[in-house]
Amino acid sequence: MHDPAFCGDGEDLLPPGHRVGGWTVTGLIGEGGWATVYAARRSGTNEVTDTAAVTDADGSVALKVLPTAGLAPRQARSVAEAARREVELARTAPHPRLVPLLDTLTLTAPEHPALDGAIVLVMERAQCTLRELLAGGVDEDRGGRIVAGICEGLAHLHRSGWVHTDLKPENVLIGRDGEVRLSDFGLAIELTGTHGHCAPMGTPDYLPPERWKEPLGEQGVKIRTTADIWALGIVIHEVFAAGVPPFPGATPTARSAAAQQYAEGRAALRLASDVPPFWRELAADCLAPTHAARAPHTAESLLARIRDHRSGRRPRRGRRPRLRAALLALVAAATAAGSAAALWPRSEPPGHPGRIRVFNAERSCQDRADRDPGCSLGLAVDPLRPYTAGNVVPTRVWHGDTLDADCQLATGLPIVDEEDRASTLWYRVHLPDTATAWLPAVRTKDRPTLLDCP
């Protein structure tokens, strides 16, 4: 399945029998935008012994060849940086659910100028990709094992401070042992605090809606672990819907537009009826329309739900996702951290109506006066329901807006801010075109003392 016949003899393809370090090419596995992957076997004179445990009995491996010849300097640097990330991640965060990197070397192939000097990553060889497996269909049991394996890999990546950024069935390998291996970390980003930055690249079908509106700064666009969770939701749907994506459209551009319409509340999320109920719910949580609404659904918490489901245990109430540095942006988190009174001092006598000023923690939005849609904030319809697009009033607010608040609810859905402070406090506010709406306390620095809402 993963061994198409070697069909090229041009100078950009290595023929069977070509030696690459201690390995001999046996055929072509596949080609991508930046790399070509070959099947190879340990050469008879190969003295490498520490990789034997992760190769086939016949010594088979996969050679990922990243050419640099003929590229512009900037492109060559991008290729070298992608290779560096793969090596760094393999060195610092090895795991059974990540494809192991066995060796790195530089290709010497003067007879193939396009490949001479290419960077070569020697990796464990897989049986097939998840995309290839889905072409034949999988039953619910195997699909569940695959999704659990993906979650295991993502949970490890996120704990280690990395975001994959390009999760898709082509980058999920099925090993010769039938187990999942996440692969292709050339676009992986290491987090620095609450987030990382990456170039505006990726596979459109798997990019979260916020990526299309994220401001492009000097370091690139902001990336968080919730980007992987969105992609996981797409993959879950594809696993149980025979490869069909959840958003309609004949092209990636059309499907991306459909995803953005959903995220903006202009279209409903319609998952295929083929997807079993548990997996529909899991996919829907992963596909929450905003980073904030997606953040409670960490890879660890999703994996715990999957294990409970597969073991027949009832979901454990009170299981709460960890508050991680990678998820510190304002989120609707399913974690209770006490009342807001312990976090912020009260400033007005009890019972007095309050005027509160909206606060947006995104610094790039604080000095803007153009009321850019990307900097707008939503007000909830019901503070006891998940803070998602379906629970947001039509009216948006921006940093610095002043709202009238008439009462407070101290036991609403917990919300976590960028500094890892959690609060269950919400204020009921009045808007010109809406009877009432709710603002989470982490979206204002003001702390009026109001009567409890009835």
Do residues 162 and 191 make contact, with C-beta atoms less than 8 angstroms apart? yes
Instruction: Give percent of the chain above pLDDT 70.
Output: 79
Q: What is the predicted pLDDT for the residue at 447?
A: 87
User: Which pLDDT belongs to residue 192?
Assistant: 76
Per-residue pLDDT for 215 more than 70?
A: no
pLDDT tens for 406-429 read: 999 998 887 766 555 668 899 999
Backbone angles phi and psi of 192, in degrees to 5: -125, 95
pLDDT for 423: 80
Q: With 90 as the cut, is the pLDDT of residue 280 above it?
A: yes
Least confident residue range of 172-186, 346-360, 366-380: 346-360
Cβ-based neighbour number of residue 187 at 10 Å:
21
Tokens of 314: 């009832």
Q: Which domains does the chain have, with CATH numbers?
A: 19-124 (3.30.200.20), 128-327 (1.10.510.10), 340-443 (no CATH)
Whether the pLDDT of residue 47 is over 70: the answer is no
Q: How high is the pLDDT of residue 117?
A: 85
Residue with tokens 């076997």: 41
Question: Can you tell me the mean pLDDT for 212-241?
Answer: 86
What torsion do the CA atoms of 370, 442, 299, 288 make, to the nearest 10 degrees?
-50
Token pair listed for 143: 């699909």
CA–CA dist 31, 37 (Å, integer)? 6
Cα distances (Å, whole numbers) of residue 199 to 78, 154, 187, 188: 10, 21, 9, 11
Predicted confidence (pLDDT) at residue 8 exceeds the cutoff of 50? no
Q: Strand pairing partners for 211? A: none
Q: In a 10 Å sphere around its CB, with 0-12 CB exposed, 13-18 middle and 19+ buried, how is residue 177 labelled? A: exposed
Q: For residue 414, what pLDDT is reported?
A: 78
Cα Dmax for the chain: 85
Cα separation, 28 vs 11, in Å, equals: 14
Token couple for 38: 């070959």
Angstrom CA distances, 381 to 161, 285, 294, 307, 393, stand at 35, 19, 18, 33, 6
Q: What is the pLDDT of residue 68?
A: 81
Mean pLDDT of 317-322: 39
